[in-house]
Amino acid sequence: MGLLTTGAPLSWTETVPHLPSLKAQGIEQFIKLWSLKGSLANFAMKFGDEIEYILVKMDPETKNARVLCEAEKVLEQLKAAAMEATPGEQSMAWNPEFASYMVEGTPGVPYEDSIAALLSVEPNMVARRNAVQQQLGETEICLSISFPSLGVGTFTHPPAAADEGNPEAAFSLLWPQEAVFNGHVRFKNLSKNITDRRRSKVSIHVPIFMDEATPSPYMDSPTTSGETENWNLEARPDHILMDHMGFGMGLCCLQVTFQAADVDEARMLYDQLTPITPVLLALSAATPCVRGKLVDLDSRWSIISQSVDDRTPEERGMVESATVTAIPKSRYGTTSCYIASSSSRFNDTSLLIDEDSFRKMVEAGIDEEMSRHVAHLFIRSPLQVFKERIEQDATKSTEHFETIQSSNWMNMRFKPPPLDAPGMGWRVEFRPTEVQLTDFENAAYCVFIMLITRVIKEKKLDFLVPISMVSENMERAQQRDAVLHGKFFFRHSVEKVSDSAESGEDIKEMSINSIVNGEVGGFPGLIPLIQEYLTEVVTDESTHVRLNAYLTLLSKRASGSVKTLARWTRDFVREHPAYAKDSDVNSEIVYDLMKEMDAISNHNKECEALLGSK
């Protein structure tokens, strides 16, 4: 997660006097990077995934499942084991994440662009899961899911009390500091600086799923006795309320990064994949339980967005101000603009930019579209600055640029090559996919994203729709069962006509099934497009069979013949004998759910409803 440099972090108050200089240096660093790396070319396509896992402590006697806050120790052991790996073994790399019960695993080196590499994605994921599991005790499990009852009573192991009045923490009534990863200063500092900049706790509202016996109106309380006044935040009727960054950043996802041949190809891929991001969000939906309740959304996106919303009351438009410009969304939010020059006619929303940064980039000869993208990132403040490195040499460091870049969390990320990595080219990252329960599914989503990227490149397909429609699609993609009932703005003819074709004329609202599987006489479908491509490049029958198993899973998810993890989990809860039809996912249900998930993901228990018949 983001930049992991070390040192003595500045508090928000200490950061404020340095803001103009930090932003100016950040832009100078980007300009330098552009001049040094902008003309790099002929890089091979490469890719790599990131999976976030959680550690869970199971107590069979009390039937309790709690998050196990031992990531620091587990990571040390995983890193040591990875160093000792011998040639021929799966290579893997490990990183901390926001919560002290999370670890992030990636392949040790990125995959090459070959069909054989696609087949090695799943074995590497299996090896990674096993590696984590090996570090755990008998009653401890590793799952690639978002934990369903964060913030419910004592939800950590070892038990820890919530921060409450702790000014050094983020004042949460539900979340303990011990659940934030402590092995790197970034995480606690980021959480504290977000709260301090915003001038209040973060305030996360998620609509509750209204079941037969759910109290109506439902008012969320931080205590079991039901008072709502002591939140120090406004509870909304029929919404769950959460008050800490961890409720968002403590959830898990699957990301895929690609290396492009050069900067222009990276810009093209960034843009072309952007309209596909909401499709993958709906298709990967996996988060129907939040803070121990069934919710009326299926994915984590809007939760994270609210969990890191550092805007001041003036920026949020809650307090009128003659001097502060209102910012319409959180720094974690849907992509605001396309970045290739040829895409600019699809940028149909007004874009807030840091004018000073924009002017400097344009004066330095960077084109307007790229300057606008970076100047938009720079409307945000740096939240993670280290005392020792306030003043920097732009020929040696890009840290101030990276600090702002890596805390702008959007559908895609455009990643410039690091200054000090001669072998690395321009990359783009596909970010919204929800992590799946099993390695088979995670491999399927990763391979699908890789293959559609390949097809876009080879066939020069054009998926662009106005950026406002992508934002709308992201909203729709999070709704309950969006995969079955949602309609999404999408192009029905994707053969590129010309760069100047009128926008909007061939856009329709389509179901995920039509987008993924195609329509008779209409849009060909993402999977048929991939299959057509595969018949051209894959000659080996057994490879076809394996890749088709992945595509079949996604095809069936899109048609509804197998369930998303969100739907499967929702059904598991609602069919559980301890469920009282009141939206409450009590500790007994959570325990049984974790046990069932462990059996499916770690012991390969068959689950046709989720995975289809293999």
Q: Which residues bind ligand ADP (CB under 6 A)?
A: 46-50, 106-107, 110, 255, 257-259, 424, 427, 429
Nearer to Mg ion, 152 or 449 (CB): 449
Q: Which is nearer to ligand ADP, 288 or 416 (CB)?
A: 416
Taking the least distance from each CB to Mg ion, the nearer of 50 and 369 is: 50
Question: According to the binding rule CB under 5 A, does residue 402 interact with Mg ion?
Answer: no
> E strand or H helix at 56, and its extent?
strand 46-59
Is residue 567 within 8 A of residue 512, CB to CB? The reply is: no
Q: What's the Cα-to-Cα distance from 297 to each of 208, 290, 570, rounded to whole Å?
A: 8, 10, 11
Q: Which is nearer to ligand ADP, 186 or 476 (CB)?
A: 186
The residue behind tokens 């054009």 is 462
**CB 260, min distance to ligand ADP, A:** 9
CB of 445 to Mg ion, least distance (A): 15
Least separation in angstroms between residue 257's CB and ligand ADP is: 3
User: Positive or negative CA dihedral for 300, 303, 309, 313?
Assistant: positive
Output the smallest distance, CB 45 to ligand ADP, in A. 8
Residue 291 Cβ vs Mg ion, minimum distance, rounded to whole Å: 25
CB nearer ligand ADP, residue 24 or residue 424: 424
State in angstroms the smallest separation of the CB of 487 from ligand ADP. Answer: 31
Q: How far is the CB of 50 from Mg ion (least distance, A)?
A: 5
Tokens of 83: 């160093």
CA–CA dist 115, 547 (Å, integer): 9
Among 64, 255, 398, 407, indicate the residue that binds Mg ion (CB under 5 A): 255
CB of 95 to ligand ADP, least distance (A): 6
Cα atoms found within 13 Å of the Cα of residue 491, Cβ hemisphere only: 24
User: Least Å distance between CB 351 and Mg ion?
Assistant: 24
Contact between 228 and 219 under an 8 Å Cβ cutoff? The reply is yes
For ligand ADP, the closer of residues 155 and 258 by Cβ is: 258
CB of 104 to ligand ADP, least distance (A): 7
Span from 44-52, 493-501, 515-523, 535-543 in contact with Mg ion (CB under 5 A): 44-52
Which listed option, ligand ADP, Mg ion, none, makes contact with residue 518 (CB within 5 to 8 Å by class)? none
Q: Vertex 282, ends 281 and 287: CA angle to 5°?
A: 80
Residues paired with 55 in a beta bridge: 142
Residues contacting 419, CB < 8 A, separation 6+: 33, 36, 37, 396, 397, 398
* 100 in Cβ contact with 72 (< 8 Å): yes
Concatenating the DSSP letter of every residue in 370-383 gives: HHHHHHHHTTSPP-
Which residue, 106 or 433, is less far from ligand ADP as judged by CB? 106
Q: What distance in Å separates the CA atoms of residue 113 and residue 115, rounded to the nearest whole number?
A: 7
Stretch binding Mg ion (CB under 5 A), from 45-53, 213-221, 245-253, 468-476 = 45-53
Q: How many residues line the site for Mg ion (CB under 5 A)?
A: 2
Taking the C-alpha atoms of 78, 84, 90 and 92 in order, what is their torsion angle to the nearest 10 degrees?
A: 40
Cβ nearer to ligand ADP, comparing 344 with 406:
406
Q: Give the residue at shortest CB distance from ligand ADP.
A: 48
Integer angstrom CA distances of residue 87 from 90, 91, 108: 8, 8, 12
CB of 402 to Mg ion, least distance (A): 13
Residue type at 309 in one-letter notation:
D
* 214/442 with CB nearer ligand ADP: 442
Partner interacting with residue 457 (select from Mg ion, ligand ADP, none; CB below 5-8 Å by kind): none
C-alpha angle 377-382-385 in degrees, rounded to nearest 5: 145
Task: Give the nearer residue to ligand ADP in terms of CB position, either 261 or 424.
Answer: 424
Distance, CA of 99 to CA of 54 (rounded, Å): 9
For residue 262, count other CB atoms closer than 10 A to its CB: 17
3-state SS of 254-307 is EEEEEECCCHHHHHHHHHHHHHHHHHHHHHCCCCCEECCEEECECCCHHHHHHH
96 vs 278, which CB is nearer to Mg ion? Answer: 96
Q: Judge contact between 389 and 9, C-beta under 8 A.
A: no
- CA proximity to 176, closest of 194, 152, 144, 148: 152
Are 266 and 260 contacting, i.e. CB atoms less than 8 angstroms apart?
A: yes
- Residue-wise burial string across 346-356, b where 16 or more C-beta atoms lie within 10 A, e elsewhere: bbeeeeebbee
With binding defined as CB under 5 A, does residue 50 bind Mg ion? yes
Determine the Cα–Cα distance for residues 546 and 590; give it in Å rounded to an integer. Answer: 34
Minimum separation from the CB atom of position 266 to ligand ADP (A): 10
| 135 versus 257: smaller Cβ distance to ligand ADP | 257
The binder of 332, among ligand ADP, Mg ion, none, by C-beta within 5 to 8 A per type, is none
What minimum distance in Å lies between the beta carbon of 363 and Mg ion? 32
Nearer to ligand ADP (CB atom), residue 3 or residue 81: 3
Distances (CA, A) of 157 to 65, 138, 463, 554: 9, 15, 46, 36
Binding flag, residue 52, Mg ion (CB under 5 A): no
Provide, rounded to whole angstroms, the least separation between the CB of residue 223 and Mg ion: 37
Measured from the CB atom, the residue of 106 and 473 that comes closer to ligand ADP is 106
What would the two tokens of residue 247 be?
Answer: 């409720």
Binds 107: which of Mg ion, ligand ADP, none (CB < 5-8 Å by kind): ligand ADP
Where along the sequence are the contacts to Mg ion (CB under 5 A)? Answer: 50, 255
